[in-house]
Structure 1
Amino acid sequence: MNDQSPTRSATRSPGPAWVLFALAMGAFAIGTAEFAAMSLVPFFARDLGITEVEAGHAISAYALGVVVGAPLIAMFGARFRRKLLLIALMAVFAVGNALSAVAPDQPADRTASPLRELGALRRPQVLLTLASGAIGFGGLFAVYTYVASTMIEVTGLSEASVPLVLGIFGVGMTLGNLAGARAADRARDTTAMAMLAWSAVMLAIYPFVAHNPVALGVIIFLIGMGGGVGSVMQVRLMDVAGDAQTLAAAAHHSAFNTANALGPWLAGMAIAAGYGLTSAGFIGSVLALCGLAIYVLAVVLERGEKARLAATPC
């Protein structure tokens, strides 16, 4: 005799495959909105009758909206049921993303509060990790925002080739995330620092090869691989955030979009000053190096704190 009630069977959570499918669809929709707009700067600049630098400011404005919105939603939505909150937000973004409804429910955290979540921002390691991501990741966005313009005006490729190169970038970023995640399981901080250094080098090479179509495709792929540092940063942030996991996750997204705003803005300033589209690579390299320096500082301070705690008598 089956003692499983119909109610219990009907409310059984979907399997992991459905959950991953829902998350992939949501990430695809949001990622397309963010990355597609960035890579199509010359086209919507032309349609709107503005310069490409001014169009780049629109990317920064969008990113700043996320920077402000993500932590606010994390704080004030902390006491709501996760599934209902997710569905409501995705429905505002796009009706198609209602596929997120298949995700399993997660009970609301009755102990959650805005003050507890904000406590994460009092931790130096959290702030340093966010700063490293907000600045270091900006290097990738500095180049990516103007890569279509560079392809057309510097490399001499046709507009029809833009999707191909952007696809190459996407493959690189996908592989970078997979490789970075595997390496981070064994050495989190070493992986993050190595990937930031990788980005700095690849971005510095970019201006010297942008005139060659084949070399441009290769370097765009390699720059994309450096984007895998984002997942490693997320892991570190969750590790150092303590019990404020919700705000830590949202703050990571804010840092990511701060980079999204900072990179195009600084690259746009260099281009407007007459240094050319390829100068975005040098700007990006400097940003990656600054992010690396902040990350190294965070690691040094963390290890020093652990050494002091170990030396303190119980």
Structure 2
Amino acid sequence: MMSLDRADEVVHVGDEVAVRRVSTSTVPVADRYAYWQESMSSSLYPVRLSPAGPVNRGKRSDFHADFLRVDAGPAKIARGVLDPVRSEITPAAARQRSGDTVQIMLHEGGKILLESRQGRQVLTGRTLTVQSDDEPAVQTHTERVPMVLLSVEAARLSVPMAALRSSMFVPHPVDGMLRVLVLGAAETARHSAGRLDPVGMTSYLSGVAELVLRTLVGHQTEHLGTVEVRRQQVRELVRARFHDPHLTTTVVAEAVGVSVRRLHQLFAGGPTVAVQIRTARLERAVELLSDPLWAAQPVSVVAQRCGFLDHSQFSRAFRQHTGTTPRSFRA
């Protein structure tokens, strides 16, 4: 298989964000399928490609695909078009994956045959599909298809995988807002390299994925009230309100509508809610003390911003968490 370095056009490469144009027209005809497969497998996850019918007047090996891909750490987005092709995540390949990647595909048209645990389905027109890297599936594009691929690490999402599974491998009709959201993310990522903060870009793409997935999953009754969803509600609440010095286990229990005893049961065997709050505060403190924009702010201000009212309490907790004092850490 050929090296991607021979064909990838580097549009922009920064410390944490890379923009690349991946086009089969830049490689010899005989290498085009191999090149596209290597590009897909290295940028997303391993797939097996094969022809899906006559391409370019019977020249089956003359495969055309042209994508612009933006890699922002654990979040990636690509937009482009490709000729008819069959892509497969084999059962063997799926077993080797851990389900740590979720991919959202916006199909802008054409006809696609999708075979998965949900059965065989035909996708036409504009649709959204969701899949993970640990489930076998076959997609056959029978026409030249414009599309957007947005992938993100599952760990960056607050939507539980258990809630996503039933929404995977089924076509979701695309309304105007979802389409604009996904296309807008692709265009923003494409034009922002070198201008916008790279860490912010990762968070932005992850946030777009979060919004799309939450919209697709909605408030399905079969997911409400389950243990994992309750845990996720707690984690989201802690992430959103850890800076509140009055956030306690009791406050969290009341906010999610369970008793304190039930809350302890939900996290039995793992970090308690109190520990999660404390950890979230200290991790944010580490970020702020490492941020040059906060270098002129007193440690006491950082402590208050992270939910600590008592400076000495903050110093003790920070030392236990990092092994050093806040001032020494910043130095």
TM-score by length of 2: 0.24
- Answer with 1 or 2: which has the greater Rg: 2
Whose strand fraction is larger, Structure 1's or Structure 2's?
A: 2
Whose helix fraction is larger, Structure 1's or Structure 2's?
A: 1
